[in-house]
Amino acid sequence: MADYVDINDLTKSYDGRTRALDRVSLTARKGEFVTFLGPSGSGKTTTLMVIAGFEEADGGAVHVGGMAMAGVPPHRRGIGVVFQNYALFPHRTALQNVMFPLLMRNVAKEQAAAKAREMLGLVGLADYGDRHPRQLSGGQQQRVALARALVFDPALLLLDEPLGALDKNLREQMQLEIKRIQRALHVTTIFVTHDQSEAMALSDRIIVFEGGRIQQDGAPLDIYLRPRTEFVARFVGDSNLLRARILDREAGLAEVEGLGPSRIPVEAARTAPAAAMLLLRPEMLALAREGEAVNPLTLAIEEVVQFGDSALLIGRSNGVPIRARIAGRDAQGMAPGAQVPLAWHPESAHLIAS
């Protein structure tokens, strides 16, 4: 499938010294849901604003649907944008807010109203058209903003942390709603967030930003299970990152900090540098059953954090900090000071060049 959004070598500096964007290149296919993930100041929102036309890059090119965006003002790009603060007109009703982009495009009022009602129905607000923003909850306002961004059938939908102001339960509900609507309309979508779980839940593909550069571009599970850099491994999800030294490449054996001689994937051992970082996600550690022989360790528990369905064990193995996530029922009775036998499978580990 051909790329629908094509960005090449974007550069941008606000002060003439530090690059907010440093040769950023990326693509998005038609109908794809792509998430820009990264900490504050990483370049993800700047990239979004350049695509929308609200920021001008110092160099590079943006193409949407095969058309160059250079010199095209934001209102002529055919791009729908939803901001974190929703930017609704407080003196207009929900219906009037959604109609606004159509009226600006000289669509007849009756036709605009019909299309706006259809879009409000799609976002689950068919009976809220006559309410003003102050009469709507945060989640309802977010749906109105989404309907307004989609009502004119945009070529591209850009979402700049639109769920940041919502509480956890509502945010999770809106994640499902956004994905449902995006699939129904098959609109190419770029979503900006610093929330890793949000990115994992929504995305077909995640692009991780840091320091104005792209650190990794891939499917959510690839980003989580096979990060290419130490930054991505630490930023996306919880992690145990331990120094490792390859002892035997053909046997898949390494000396791992805090864990001693350990079995690792043979393929990884063959290609890894002599000194590397071993990534072991907390959920990859399990309680060692009697007779467990593969990669055993003893965790001296310092803290137990209960989540109900699971528990996070925080402690040390041979003085090295280790975090393990096990089933909540298995953690009953565990407390700081306990010594817990754990084990992990060689294929659970991932090696990163240090």
- Residue range 238-353 forms a domain whose CATH class is mainly beta
Give the CATH H-level superfamily of domain 3-230.
P-loop containing nucleotide triphosphate hydrolases (3.40.50.300)
Distance CA 268, CA 265 (A): 5
Tokens of 170: 């509502």
Give the pLDDT score at 293. 65
Per-residue pLDDT, 2: 65
- Determine the length of the chain: 354
Tell me, yes or no, if the two domains 3-230 and 238-353 fold the same way: no
Handedness of CA 222, 228, 232, 233 (dihedral sign): positive
Residue-wise pLDDT for 275-301, tens only, equals: 899 999 999 999 997 666 689 999 999
Q: Look at residue 292 in the predicted model and tell me its pLDDT.
A: 63
- pLDDT tens, position by position, 145-165: 999 999 999 989 999 988 877
> Do 340 and 301 meet the contact criterion of CB atoms below 8 Å apart?
yes
Token digits of residue 9: 């070598």
Question: Would you kindly state where each structural domain of the chain is located, as residue ranges?
Answer: 3-230, 238-353
Contact 64, 4 (CB under 8 A): yes
Radius of gyration of the chain (CA): 24
What pLDDT shows up at residue 173?
Answer: 85
Dihedral class, residue 325 (left if φ above 0, else alpha if ψ from -120 to 50, else beta): beta
What would the two tokens of residue 313 be?
């064990």
Q: What angle do CA 152, 61, 7 make, to 5 degrees?
A: 70
Distance CA 314, CA 335 (A): 10
Binning the chain into helix, strand and coil, the percentages to the nearest 5 are 30, 35, 35
Q: What distance in Å separates the CA atoms of residue 106 and residue 112, rounded to the nearest whole number?
A: 9
List the chain residues with pLDDT less than 70: 1-2, 290-293
**Rounded Cα–Cα distance for residues 346 and 264 (Å):** 4
